[in-house]
Amino acid sequence: MANPENLATSLLPHVNHNPDVLSCLANLSNDEVFTPPNVANAMLDMLPQELFKNPDTKFLDPVCKSGVFLREITKRLMTELAEEIPNLQDRLDHILHNQVYGIAITELTSLLSRRTLYCTKYPNCDYSISRFDNITGNIRYKAVKHTWRNGKCIFCGASRAQYERETGLESYAYEFIHMDNLQEIFRDMKFDVIIGNPPYQLNVGVEKENYAIPVYHKFIENAKKLNPKYLSMIIPARWYAGGRGLADFRNRMLNDCRLSILHDFPDASDIFSGVQIKAGVCYFLWDSEHSCECYVTNHFRNIQVGPYKRKLLEPGMSTFIRFNKAISILRKTRINNDNFSKIVSSQTPFGLITSFKGSRTKTSENDLKMYLSGNDKEFKGKTNYVSVNMISRGKEMIKWHKIYIPKVGSGSDSFPHQIIGIPFYGKPDTVCNQSYLVIGPFKDIVEANNAITYMKTKFFRFLVLQKKNSQDAMRGVYELVPLQEFSKSWTDAEPPGPVSSATQGLWAL
């Protein structure tokens, strides 16, 4: 067995690790997002630290990748239990055999996690820092299969056509979300803390190459079924206001009074260096005995706002308002119930899909100029013509003085991700394909251009940002923006509408 005196170099927290291999590993991949040690420790800091002084506290990471959570937990336990279990080897044996447990997401990560925690892939060998009588120790991996029904997995939604693979290929059937009875995994063991960084999504694209569905919420919901005292996970923040198939999950989370702490990162690279996750990420603490408001902290670069103690759902809201600064602003602006979304069209305003490009030249006097965009570089940002007979909806908008805005945000206007595209005036007798939304009507070009000045203010974009969690900016993201009179132009020097002078600080954003 490994010399217990050498444990200090890997498990005792006062030793300076330089470099930490897990910090390096966290920067290697965009497919499996590994957790940096400093982030794991920030999440552990949210827990009551008395847990680490108790030799009976049990921890579970149900989504082991690098083993960083289990290692950092063990380091804390090694320090806090020193008085109760003075002998170094006895203390380590007790912790690794009775307090820290993991479920790996793949066979490879099971080996990596065991190497991190036990200093060997197989803890029943002489090189293990604590000897087990099996090859897995307390970090298990079991290759399970998807359960198919109508071509989809009933547990995770994976496509049978894509994930029913030959033996030896990874199927991504994660054990923790592919079981009817979770208690069977560790023989009805009661865990005090469940913590980890679950897989975020599963590509189910067959006809669409990048069609992916979220799966992280399934790990959270299954973790709650084990009735832990505390639950903490780091996940994409898209669930605040959107995400495919997340409506029920969002409703449960935002109405769960046991969510006690939330740390929000609009820019995921502030946590995962070099990784881009649209709408950012967050990590939270769910406390089974908490029953009041949540402490919310916003992080951006080196700026921290909060913690603010507040409800996750503001009265009258259906989504979470992520920025603490926005709460007082919204309470003032919502005095007026008219909002900007009322003058924004739905998707595909004229019934012309994105792939429809029209004609390069007029073939009839009744043909309409059509604005189009899309992935085709030959057409992007250009105008073509379409017969008025091709317009299947929104015919009343043809004669409007209006504004066109891309349904996808512009990269030149980020805070930190894309917010809204560049709006432009659309004169009567013009239309667009699905790449744009229509805003209007306006009585003339002057009024339309005044509305564009409003849309370019930081105030406008900041309120849009509260509901925008992806590149697409459909009508719903404008619901928190007050509707104004557009007889005048607007600038960032002058807050519009019912906003009081108390909100002037927002104008510096």
Give the three-state DSSP class for 340. helix
Mean pLDDT (whole number) for 121-138: 94
> Which candidate, 305, 298, 299, 304, places its Cα nearest to that of 270?
299
The architecture of the domain spanning 340-508 is Alpha-Beta Complex (3.90)
pLDDT band at 20 (very low <50, low <70, confident <90, very high): low
pLDDT in tens, 198-210: 999 887 765 445 5
Q: Is the pTM of this model over 0.85?
A: no
Mean pLDDT (whole number) for 222-247: 92
CATH of 1-144+179-197, one of 2.60.40, 2.30.30, 3.40.50, 1.10.3470: 3.40.50
Mean pLDDT (whole number) for 467-477: 79
pLDDT band at 159 (very low <50, low <70, confident <90, very high): confident
pLDDT in tens, 32-75: 678 999 999 999 999 999 999 999 999 999 999 999 999 999 99
Place of tokens 């600080």: 505
pLDDT in tens, 166-182: 776 778 899 999 988 88
What pLDDT is stored for residue 29 in this prediction?
40
Residue 40 corresponds to which amino acid? A
Q: What is the mean pLDDT of the chain?
A: 85
Which residues of the chain form CATH 3.40.50? 1-144+179-197
pLDDT in tens, 390-422: 999 999 999 999 999 998 865 444 444 558 888
Which residues of the chain form CATH 3.90.220? 340-508
- pLDDT for residue 374 is more than 60: no
Mean pLDDT (whole number) for 227-247: 91
Lowest-pLDDT range of 22-26, 188-192, 221-225, 236-240: 22-26
Angle between helices 37-45 and 68-80 (to 10 degrees): 50
For residue 424, the cross-strand partners are 404
What CA–CA distance (Å, rounded) separates 480 from 466?
8
